[in-house]
Amino acid sequence: MPTRRAFNTGLLAMLGSTALAGCAVTGNSDNSRKSATHITAIDTHAHVFERGLPLANARRYAPSYDAPLSAYLAQLDAHGVSHGVLVQPSFLGVDNSYLLAALKQAPQRLRGVAVIDPTAPETLLAQMNTEGIVGTRLNLIGAPDPQLTSPVWQAALARLHALGWHVELHVEARRLPALLQPLLEAQVNVVVDHFGRPAPAFGVDDPGFAALLAAGRTRRVWVKISGAYRNGTDGRGEAIAQAAMPRLKDALGLDRLVWGSDWPHTQFESQINYDKAWAFASVLLPNAADRKQVLVDTPAQLFRFV
3-state secondary structure of 118: coil
What angle separates helix 4-14 from helix 176-185, to the nearest 10 degrees? 20
* CA 122 to centroid of chain Cα atoms: 22
Q: What is the mean pLDDT of residues 52-60?
A: 87
Please determine, for residue 20, whether its predicted confidence score (pLDDT) is greater than 90. no
How many angstroms separate the CA atoms of 193 and 159, rounded? 22
How many angstroms separate the CA atoms of 271 and 68, rounded? 20
The pLDDT confidence band at residue 203, using thresholds 50, 70 and 90, is very high
Q: Note whether 261 and 226 are within 8 A (CB).
A: yes
3-state secondary structure of 37: coil
How many angstroms separate the CA atoms of 57 and 200, rounded? 29
Q: What is the mean pLDDT of residues 185-191?
A: 98
- The better pLDDT of the pair 128, 63 is held by 128
H-type helices in the chain, by residue range? 4-14, 69-78, 97-105, 122-130, 151-163, 176-185, 207-215, 236-251, 274-284, 288-292, 298-302
Please determine, for residue 124, whether its predicted confidence score (pLDDT) is greater than 70. yes
User: Given this model, what pLDDT does residue 297 score?
Assistant: 97
Element (H, E) at 85: strand 83-87
Please determine, for residue 287, whether its predicted confidence score (pLDDT) is greater than 50. yes
User: Given this model, what pLDDT does residue 66 score?
Assistant: 97
Largest CA distance in the chain: 51
The pLDDT confidence band at residue 37, using thresholds 50, 70 and 90, is low
* CA 49 to centroid of chain Cα atoms: 18
User: Given this model, what pLDDT does residue 11 score?
Assistant: 45
How many angstroms separate the CA atoms of 233 and 8, rounded? 28
Please determine, for residue 300, whether its predicted confidence score (pLDDT) is greater than 60. yes
- The better pLDDT of the pair 287, 5 is held by 287
How many angstroms separate the CA atoms of 74 and 85, rounded? 14
The pLDDT confidence band at residue 60, using thresholds 50, 70 and 90, is confident
Among 167, 252, 172, residue whose Cα is nearest residue 215 = 252
- The better pLDDT of the pair 30, 156 is held by 156
User: Given this model, what pLDDT does residue 59 score?
Assistant: 82
> Domains in the chain, please, with CATH?
44-56+65-302 (3.20.20.140)
Q: What is the percentage of the chain residues whose pLDDT exceeds 70?
A: 88
Q: What is the mean pLDDT of residues 231-250?
A: 97
Torsion of CA 184, 13, 176, 226, to 10 degrees: -70
User: Given this model, what pLDDT does residue 257 score?
Assistant: 98
How many angstroms separate the CA atoms of 202 and 282, rounded? 25
Q: Which residues contact 293 (CB under 8 A, 6 or more apart)?
A: 254, 255, 257
